[in-house]
Amino acid sequence: MGQIEWAMWANEQALASGLILITGGIVATAGQFTQWYFGAYSIAAGVFICLLEYPRGKRKKGSTMERCGQKYMTKVVKLFGPFSRNYYVRAILHLGLSVPAGFLLATILGTACLAISSGIYLLAATRGEQWTPIESKPKERPQVGATIKQPPSNPPPRPPAEARKKLSEEEEVATGVSSGPQENPIPVTDEVV
């Protein structure tokens, strides 16, 4: 298992835990269970966790598939600097968030899942992993001059029509022809790049 980045799995698990917390919280609140305010907390915590975990971090090797529309949350999460980059912080945060939800049966599944996610983040942190935002590279504007690789192969002054016909036949074959532009009407040399 040499190349695994545990944080990727912890991220999936935390996102799932967030959704489970929200669901459990809705059940407890809507059903007006005893001490349903834990359910309300659970919904809030779940939403927060989903927002935090939605932007996927960049993998060290290879390309990372972005989640749909994650670039907006990436900007926000990036703002927290070391608090969002460091996985020890996330591990402790998730562990702490999971505790109040453990008081209700409806949300205890969320607690268990979030605790597992916290454990995996801890493992990721001990292996030195970090959250790096996926940023789109700024599009390189092609500089106007650089795309022209070779000067025109048959600039004026050009030789008369017959000589030109012979030249153009040769040119069809070799597209990358370089020639001294000022050396007309000497025949063009057939240089293959």
Partner 1 sequence: MGNWAVNEGLSIFVILVWLGLNVFLFVWYYKVYDDPPKFFYTRKLLGCCSTRIRRQLDRNLTFHKMVAWMIALHTAIHTIAHLFNVEWCVNARVNNSDPYSIALSDIGDKPGETYLNFARDRIKNPAGGLYVAVTRLAGITGIVITLCLILIITSSTKTIRRSYFEVFWYTHHLFVIFFIGLAIHGAERIVRGQTPKSLDEHNPKLCYQNISDWGKIKGCPVPQFYGNPPMTWKWIVGPMFLYLCERLVRFWRSQQKVVITKVVTHPFKTIELQMKKKGFKMEVGQYIFVKCPKVSKLEWHPFTLTSAPEEDFFSIHIRIVGDWTEGLFNACGCDKQEFQDAWKLPKIAVDGPFGTASEDVFSYEVVMLVGAGIGVTPFASILKSVWYKYCNNATNLRLKKIYFYWLCRDTHAFEWFADLLQLLETQMQERNNAGFLSYNIYLTGWDESQANHFAVHHDEEKDVITGLKQKTLYGRPNWDNEFKTIASQHPNTRIGVFLCGPEALAETLSKQSISNSESGPRGVHFIFNKENF
- Applying CB under 8 A, the residues found at the interface with partner 1 are 1-5, 8-9, 12-13, 15-16, 20, 23-24, 27-28, 31, 33-35, 38, 56, 59, 62, 64-65, 103-106, 108-109, 112-113, 116, 173-176, 192-193
Supply the minimum distance, in Å, between the C-beta of residue 156 and partner 1. Answer: 25
Please tell me the distance from the alpha carbon of residue 114 to that of residue 100, in angstroms, as a whole number.
12
Measured from the CB atom, the residue of 89 and 174 that comes closer to partner 1 is 174
Supply the minimum distance, in Å, between the C-beta of residue 108 and partner 1. Answer: 7
- Burial environment of residue 90 by CB neighbours within 10 A (0 to 12, 13 to 18, 19 or more): buried
Measured from the CB atom, the residue of 89 and 108 that comes closer to partner 1 is 108
The Cα-based distances of 48 to 16, 77, 91, 130, 162 in angstroms read: 13, 11, 15, 20, 78
Measured from the CB atom, the residue of 34 and 182 that comes closer to partner 1 is 34
The Cα-based distances of 164 to 72, 103, 153 in angstroms read: 59, 90, 12
Supply the minimum distance, in Å, between the C-beta of residue 20 and partner 1. Answer: 7
Measured from the CB atom, the residue of 93 and 113 that comes closer to partner 1 is 113
Supply the minimum distance, in Å, between the C-beta of residue 173 and partner 1. Answer: 6
Q: CB of 178 within 8 A of CB of 150?
A: yes
Measured from the CB atom, the residue of 27 and 73 that comes closer to partner 1 is 27
The Cα-based distances of 31 to 23, 43, 106 in angstroms read: 12, 14, 10
Supply the minimum distance, in Å, between the C-beta of residue 157 and partner 1. Answer: 28
